Structure 1
Amino acid sequence: MTTKHQRFSLTVRCAMLLWSLGLMAHAQDPAPPAETLTVDQAVSNALQRNPSLRTAELDVEKSSDNLAAFRTRRLPSLKWTTLAGQLLTKPTVTFDQGVFGTYPGVGPIPGQETKVNIPRKPTAFLYGQMLQPLSQQYRLGLGVKLLTLERLLEEAKLAERRAAVAEQVRKAYYRLLETQSALESVEQSLPLYRETFRLAKVGLKLETVLESQQLKAEADVAKVELEALKLRNPIATQMEVLNELMGRPVNTPFRTVGVSHLVEESLDPGEAIRMALNRRPEVQQASLRVRQADLDIRVKKSEYIPDVSLALTYGSAYNFQNALPQNVATAGVYLEWEVFDWGRKKREMSAKRHIASQARIAEEALDRRIRVEVGQALRQCAEAAQRVKVSTLTQRAAREGLREQQSAFGREAVLLKDVLQSQTVLAAADDEQRRALAAYWSARAELKRVLGEQ
C-alpha cells in the first residue's frame, strides 16, 4: 500500500513539474512582433472593417430592395376577396312577371310575380380581380427612375461616409506620428540637458557656478523628463483610438511608419479643382438631388393622366337558394380619374419646382465652396511644409548651439548662464517643431479630404 502511494505521489510530482516547465516555456516565448502599419494600410483596414460603414451599406441594400419592390407595380395585380358569414335577416328576391321572357304557347315566365325567401343560414361571397396597368406605365417608369436615383444617392452617401472614415483615420494616424516625433525630439534633447546639469555640478564644486544656476540646470532636466512622460502617455491612447477606427481589438500592437521627407505638393490649382469636383461624393449627391427634383415634377404631372387598366373580374355567391347568380366573370377596361382636385396638383407641382430651384442653388454653392477649399488647402499645405523646414533648421541650429556652449563652458570660455540661455532657445525650437509638424499633418489630411481621396 505504501509502495502504491509512493508511486502515485511520484507521478503527481512529475506531472506538476512538466506542467510548470510548459508554463515557463510558454512565458519565455517571444511576443509576436508588432506589425508595421502605414497610413494607407490603416485607411484600407478601416474601410474594410469599420462598423459605422455597415449602417450606410445597409441603407444601399435597403434602397435596392425598394427599387425591386416598386418594379413589380408594372405587372398585373391579383386580388381575391372572400366573405363568409351567417345571415342575420331573411332577404327576399322578387322576380316580376315575365322577367325571363314571354314565349308562344307558354306565356310569360314567371306567370306572376314570384318571391323567393332566403332563410337565415351560412352564406359566402367570392370576388376576384386582376388589373394590368396601361396608362400608369408612364408614371411607374418615372417612379423606377426616381428610385434608381435614390439608390445612387445612397451609394454617394456611402462614399461620403467612407471618405469621412478615411479622414478620421488619417488624422488619428498623423496625430500619433506627431506625438511620436515630438517624443523622439525630446529624447534627443534630453542628453544635452543632462550634460548641462553635469557641467553645473562640476562648476559648483570648482566654485565657478552659483548654486541657483546648478538648481536651474537640474530643474530643466526634470522638466524635459516630465515632458517626455507626458508625451508617452497619449501614445497608448492614440494607438487604441486608431485600432478602434480600424475595427479591430484596441490592444493590437503596431508600429507607425514615419515620413523621411515632406511631400511637396506640385498639383496645379486648376487640375486639383477638377480632381475634387470629380471625386467628391458631395458633388455627386448635389447632382443627383437636382435630377431627383426634376423627375419628381414629371411624376406629379403624370398624375393628370387617367388610370386605365385591363380588368378581369370574377364573382360568385353561395347558398342563396340559387336566387343570386354564380360564376360571373367579366373582362374589360377599368378607368379611374380624378376629374377635379380644387387646384391641389397645381400647388403640389409649384412646391416641387421650388425644391428643384433649391437643389440647383445648393449645387452651385457647393461648386464655389469646393473651389475655395481646394485653393485654401493647397496654400496651407505649402505654408505648413515650409514652416516645418524652417523649424527643423532652427531646431538643429539650437541643438548645435547648445553643444558648442557646453564645450565652451568646459573650457571656461563662457558662463553657465550662456549655456542655460542656449537651453531656453532649444526648448523654444523644440516647441515650434512640434507645432509645425502638427500643422503640417493637419494640412495634409485636410488636402486629401478636399480632393476626395480615400
Structure 2
Amino acid sequence: MKRRLDTTRALGAALLATTLWLGLGGAMCRAQTASEVLTLADALQEALSNDHLIKEARQLERAAAEGLLGAKAALLPSLSAHYEYFRLDDNPYAIFKTELGTQKVEVGHHDNFTWDLTLTQPIFTGFALVTKKKIAALDVARAQVQKEQAVLDVAKRVKTAYFRVLLAGRFLDVAREEENQLAAHLRDAQKFYKQGLIAYNDVLKSQVALAQARQTKVRRAKDVEVATADLNRLLGRPLTAPTRVADVVRFSPGSYELESLMEEAVRNRPELRVLRLAVKQAQEGVRLAASEFYPKVFLVGRVERTGKDPLGEENDYQNPDTTTVGVRLEWPFFEWGRTQAAVRQQRAKARSLQERLADIEESVRLEVKAALSDLEVAQANVETAKTALEQARENLRITRLQYRQQVTTATEVLDARAYLTQAEANYYGAHYGWHLARAELDRALGRR
C-alpha cells in the first residue's frame, strides 16, 4: 500500500512538473512573440504574401496564361471522333428497270453502325487564329501589370497603417507624459495649499486638468488598439494580435523635380500600362473582326468505317473502310453588313480607349503634382513644428520653475503644459505626415 502511495505521489509530481514546464514554455513563447518588433520591410513582405487582392491577381494571371495556351493550341491540328447507330424498318433497296421488268435490289442493312476519326488542320483563317494568340498574349501582359498594381495598392495601405500605428503610439506617449507632469504639478499645488501660499481653487484646477489628461490617455490607448488591428488585418494576422512596430528612419528632407516625376509616373504607373495594353488589344480586335472578310481553309483527313456490327467490320454492300484527305473552304461572303459593323465597333472601342488613356495620363500628372505639394508642405511643417516643440518645452520648464518660486500662477503652468501637448501633437503629426505624404507620392509614381 505504501509503495502504491509513493508511486502515485511520484507520478503526480512528474505530471505537475510537466504541466509547469509546458506552461512556462508556452508563456515564454507568447512573451517572445509579443516582444517581436515588426519593421516596415517585414510588414510589407508579410502583407504581400497574405493579401487576398494579390492572391486574386495571381489567379487571374494564371487564367490568362491558360488562355494563351489555348490560343496556341488552336493553331495545331485537332482530332475528333464520331460514332452513331441507327436502325431502318426495312432494308434499303434500289429499283432497276430492265428488259426483264422492274427489279428491287437491296443496297443496305437494317442495322447500321458508323464511326470515324477526323483530323483537321487550319491552313488559313483570315489571320483570326494568329490574332487571337496575340490578344491572349496581351491578356497575360495585362494580368502581370494588374498584379503589379495590386502590389502597389497593398504596399501603400500597409505603409499608411504602419505609420498610423506609430503616430497613435506617439500620441499615447504624449498623453502619458502629460498625465505624469500634471500629477507632479498637482502634488506641488497641494503642498503650496497646505502652506497657505495658494487658494484651493488652484488645486481644483490642477485636479480637473489631471482628470482630463487621464481621459485623453485612455482614448489614445484605444486609438493604438484600433490602428494595430487595422495593420493586423492587412498582414493577415488576428485583429487582436499584440503587434509591435519599429520606428521608421527619421525625417530626411529632399528636393524634387516635378516634370521628371510626372514623366516617371506616366511611364511606370500600372493603370496606364494596362490601358496601353488594352488599346493594343482593341486594335487587334479590329483585325480579328476583319478576318471574317476572308475565306477559311482547312486540311481535313478522315478514316471512316460503316457496317452492320458494332465495330463496323461487316458490310455486305460496300467497302466498310474509307479513308479521305481533302481541303475544306468556308467563306460566308454575304451577311448583311454584320462583319463591317463588327469592324467599325472595334475601331470605335480602340479610339475610346485612346481617349481614356489621354485623360488618365493628365489625371496622373495632376495626382503627382498634388502628392508632391503635400510632401513639400509636410516637409516645411516638420521644421516649423520642431522649432515650436523646443520653444514649448522651454516655456513649460521656465513656467514650472516660476511656479515653484511662487512668481506665477497654476493657470500659467496648465496653459504651458497644454501648449506643449499641442506642440508635441503637431510635431509628431507633421513627422509621420511627411512619411504618409511620401507613401502617397511613391504610389502616384508607381513605386513600391
Q: Distance in 2 between matches of 1:401 and 1:163?
A: 45
For 1:339 and 1:211, how far apart are their aligned partners in 2? 104
Structure 2 residue 26 is matched with structure 1 residue 32: no
Work out which of the residue numbers 277, 292, 295 in structure 2 matches 1:288. Answer: 277
TM normalised by structure 1 equals 0.89
Structure 2 residue matching 1:74: 3-state secondary structure: coil
Greater shift, 53-62 or 387-396, is seen at: 387-396
Alignment correspondent of 2:8 = 12
Q: Which residue number corresponds to residue 418 of structure 1? A: 412
User: Which residue matches 1:223?
Assistant: 212
Structure 2 counterpart of 1:102: none
Unaligned runs of 5+ in 2: 309-313
Q: Which shifted more, 136-145 or 184-193? A: 184-193
CA distance in 1, matches of 2:85, 2:288: 41
Q: Deviations over 1:102-159 (max 9, x none)?
A: xxxxxx9xx8654224787322123443222111273211110010001111111111
Contact map agreement 1:133 1:310 (CA 8 A) in 2: yes
Instruction: Give the greater-gyration-radius structure (CA).
Output: 1
> Are the aligned partners of 2:51 and 2:234 in contact in 1 as well (CA < 8 Å)?
yes
**2:55 matched to which residue of 1?**
54
Q: What's the secondary structure of 2:328's corresponding residue?
A: strand
**Matches of 1:66 and 1:123 in 2, distance apart?**
41
Q: Deviations over 1:273-304 (max 9, x none)?
A: 23323332112101101111111101111221
Task: Please report how far the alpha carbon of residue 431 of structure 1 lies from its aligned counterpart in structure 2 after TM superposition.
Answer: 4.0
Deviates more, 1:253-262 or 1:364-373: 253-262
Q: 1:321 to 1:284 in 2, by over 3 A?
A: closer
Q: Which amino acid aligns with 2:19?
A: L
Pick which of 404-413 and 135-144 moved more.
135-144
Q: Residue 343 of structure 2 is aligned with which of 307, 329, 349? A: 349
Residue from 136, 139, 143 that aligns with 1:147: 136
Contact persistence 2:91–2:110 (CA under 8 A):
no
Q: Is the Cα–Cα contact under 8 Å of residues 306 and 315 in structure 2 kept in the other structure?
A: no
1:385 equivalent to 2:353? Answer: no
State the alpha-carbon separation in 1 of the partners of residues 75 and 11 from structure 2: 77
1:176 is aligned to 2:170: no
Residue 238 of structure 1 is matched in structure 2 by 227
Tell me the percent identity. Answer: 23
Which deviates further from its counterpart, 50-59 or 301-310? Answer: 50-59
The equivalent of 2:87 in structure 1 is: 86
How far apart in 2 are the matches of 1:244 and 1:121?
Answer: 73
Q: How far apart, CA to CA, are the structure 2 residues paired with 1:328 and 1:425?
A: 100
- Corresponding residue SS for 1:342: coil
What does 1:50-449 align with in structure 2 at a 5 Å threshold?
Answer: 50-95=51-96, 114-117=103-106, 121-136=110-125, 138-250=127-239, 252-259=241-248, 261-319=250-308, 322-437=316-431, 439-449=433-443
Secondary structure, aligned partner of 1:32: helix
Work out the CA distance in 1 between the residues paired with 2:391 and 2:230.
Answer: 36
Amino acid at match of 1:141: V
Q: Distance in 2 between matches of 1:163 and 1:156?
A: 11
Aligned partner letter, 1:21: A
Which of 269-278 and 41-50 deviates more? 269-278
| Whole-angstrom distance in 2 between the partners of 1:236 and 1:114 | 101
User: What residue identity is the alignment partner of 1:358?
Assistant: S
Report the secondary structure of 2:32's partner residue: coil
2-structure distance, mates of 1:69, 1:120: 43
**CA drift at 1:38:** 1.8
- 2:262 partner SS: helix
Instruction: Give per-residue Cα distances to partners, 1:31-73, cap 9 Å, x unaligned.
Output: 3262232212211221123233212111111111111112111
Q: Which range is displaced more, 212-221 or 164-173?
A: 212-221
Supply the AA of the counterpart residue of 1:317.
T
